[in-house]
Amino acid sequence: FAGYISQVLKNYTDHACDGEYVSLRCPHRTTISIQSSFYGRIVPSHQLCPSRYPHSYATLIKEDVACSVGTSLQKMLDECQDRRSCQFLVNSRLFGTDPCPGTGKYLLVWYKCRPNEYKSKVACEDDKLRLSCKKSMVIAIYSAIFGRTQGGSLECPYQNLGMPMIECQSATALQLMIKRCHGKRSCSIYASTYEFGDPCYPGIQKHLNVIYTCDNTPLLLPVDETEPPGLSSSSSSSMEPVGVGTEMALLSNILAAYAFIT
């Protein structure tokens, strides 16, 4: 379970040069959620994706390092969003008009692995947020936001007090929700600045938005059935399947995942 959670919560980054395959993959029971994407070149080729062909110095200094396309994100959404895995060959033809012919380009992708089934709960500022799962199932936090988002919240409409619509979010909301709720059947927390601090200017209304899933499998291996980087074999051997009732053993696994994530 801890290995599975660490894979789900991790922010992934992948890249591929022109002529190479980009390959995205998520663990079992999750799908790809594209966060951002870039195709072009903003650093010299000797720093990233060097040319496959020898270049004279005169050619190198003409290299375009302010080159990008606006269709990169949409292309990644079309190819990979909500799939378990995806792979394709990177070249300028995929993204429409080549923004800088003669310059070798690369693709950068940022993504997360989203559970196939998840729930979302919102609590307005100073209200209590309660999460619960059915018997034999435990909470796995996917994301948490405390603050004010650009789109606002239907559950917590903002009063227009003459303040600009500025987005502000707590940097510790996810860690706190993991600490409070991971691996438990139920939990509660107040959506207050006492718990999360105040990431916004005084007087700005905030809300807490948590996305989570209920899991009844105490131990789930990542898709490649290998332990996440950074967890030693000794720690892996102690992470054996345990029942939900064995709270201390489960808590130990959750804390190991939380330490790895942070």
Q: What is the pLDDT along the chain (262 residues), one digit of tens a residue?
A: 455 555 555 678 899 999 999 999 988 778 898 989 999 998 888 888 887 655 544 455 577 888 899 899 999 999 999 898 999 999 988 888 888 888 889 999 999 888 777 788 999 999 999 999 888 888 888 889 999 877 666 778 776 555 666 788 898 998 899 899 988 899 999 999 999 999 988 878 899 999 888 876 543 333 333 333 333 333 333 323 333 333 334 444 444 454 455 5
In the prediction, which pLDDT does 244 show?
34
- The CATH number of 119-215 is which of 3.30.2000.20, 2.60.120.740, 3.40.720.10, 1.10.760.10? 2.60.120.740
> Where exactly are the structural domains of the chain?
1-116, 119-215
The Cβ-side half-sphere exposure at 42, using a 13 Å CA radius, reads 6
In whole angstroms, give the CA distance from residue 19 to residue 248. Answer: 50
Q: Which fold has domain 1-116?
A: Jelly Rolls (2.60.120)
Task: Give the distance between the most distant pair of CA atoms in the chain.
Answer: 69
Model pTM score: 0.53
Tell me if 1-116 shares its fold with 119-215.
yes
